[in-house]
Amino acid sequence: MLKGRTLGMGELERIEDRPFRTAPFAAGTLAAATRCDRLAVLTADLGKYTDVHPFRDAHPDRFFNVGMAEQALVSVAAGLAKTGWTAYCTTYGAFATRRAHDFLAIACAHGGAAVKMFAGNPGLTTGYGGTHQAIEDLALMRAIPDVTVIDPCDATEMQQIAEQAIDIPGTVYCRLLRGNVPVVLDPATYRFEVGKATRFGEGGDVGFVSTGFMTERCLDAARKLETQGVRASVLHVGTIKPFDAAAVAEFAGSVTRLVTAENHVLVGGLTSLVLDAMQEAQILRPMLKIGIPDRFIECGSVPYLQDKYGLTAARVHERVAAWLDRSGTSAAA
């Protein structure tokens, strides 16, 4: 079934019957540009793969490609910010955070530079292996003081963040969902707010705390569990930093069991933050942690890798159902 699939470059697989939107980042950035005439967009030889070409075509004088040079990308963006510009940058998260980490920390965050990094290939959204998969970027970025770190769920959120990032003070690191991106959150009712988690459902048998596209997978798994008699709910934490610890603690307190789910290694990301928040609030719950194992992931097609490492809705459901079974909370087959 997987034979012949391409390795993918940050684009999510279509899920049957789920609506999608093409290049929501581009739409959001163009909308931001209508409000802000001092918005520049920079990329490092990955414009084609990060949905910036619509901006380039609309505002060629404000678009810059520095070539394969992530340190220049970030430091040039920081310099632009010093003269009153807001700089949106795109590259892959692996390159932004591993190669240009010092520049994001010191050239940008240390001085509060208005640099917004949109980082493609988050987690397992490419099959190009450990070099291209940003599996630890959230941990690296959230450890830097004064950075806003965001992992959007879907096209709705991606577009809203791109549109709003000009208003978020200082340095922002946002994972980029590109290409045809599923629409999960209703654009008519959902409003992204920095640092605010959003709860879906009231079920208290099991609660999912998730970030990024794992929220989509958790919502699907929760729906299926509901049909099997398990009352479930999902807390989407789009902003990793500042972290909505109060919402997480309240949510954890309202459910019997907790599942965390992230498209990221289980080191220093969402799961660590949830555990910190629960410790602070002195809440203890049985917990299942879903994420990428602490190892570099091989090359392979994206659906294969997401299935193998348990990030699909089916695998999330399967694991949670089995866990509930073992603990005596039944999810009927």
Partner 1 sequence: MALTNHPSETPNLSFLKEKALQLRRLMLVQAAGKGQGYLGQGLGLAEFLATLYHYELRYDRDNPEWEDRDRFFLSTGHYSIALWAVLADIGYVSKESLPTYGADESPLEMSTIEGRVPGVEMTGGSLGHGLGIAVGAALGYRLSKRDARVFVEVSDGELQEGSTWEAATAANAFGLDNLVAFVDCNGIQADGAMVVPIEPVADKWRAFGWDVIEIDGNALDQVVGAMHWARMARGRPKVVVMRTKPGKGIARLEAREKAHFIRVGADEWDVIAKELEAENA
Binding segment (CB under 8 A) for partner 1, from list 73-81, 178-186, 233-241, 270-278? 73-81
Exactly one of 103, 118, 213, 243 binds partner 1 (CB under 8 A); which one?
103
Q: Can you tell me the distance from the alpha carbon of 145 to that of 159, in angstroms, rounded to the nearest whole number?
A: 26
Closer residue to partner 1 in complex, CB, 41/119 = 41
Binders of partner 1 among residues 255 to 284 (CB under 8 A) are: none
If binding is defined by CB under 8 A, does position 61 make contact with partner 1?
Answer: yes
Among 35, 82, 191, 295, binds partner 1 (CB under 8 A): 82
Q: How many CB atoms lie within 10 A of CB 261?
A: 28
Nearest-approach distance from CB 40 to partner 1, in angstroms: 7
- Pick from 14, 16, 2: nearest CA to 301: 2
Give the separation between CA 65 and CA 62, rounded to whole angstroms: 10
Among 13, 53, 98, 111, binds partner 1 (CB under 8 A): 111
Determine the Cα–Cα distance for residues 195 and 242; give it in Å rounded to an integer: 5
Instruction: Work out how close the CB of 42 gets to partner 1 at its nearest, in angstroms, rounded to a whole number.
Output: 9
Residues 15-44 that bind partner 1 (CB under 8 A): 38, 40
Amino acid letter, residue 207: G
77 binds partner 1 (CB under 8 A): yes
Cβ neighbours around 93 below 10 Å, total: 29
Burial of 122 (0-12, 13-18, 19+ CB in 10 A): buried
CA-CA distance, 160 to 294, in Å (whole number)? Answer: 32
Give the DSSP letter of residue 149.
Answer: E
**196 near partner 1 (CB under 8 A):** no
**Residues within the interface to partner 1 (CB under 8 A):** 38, 40, 61-62, 64, 66-67, 69, 71-72, 74-85, 87, 102-103, 106-107, 110-111
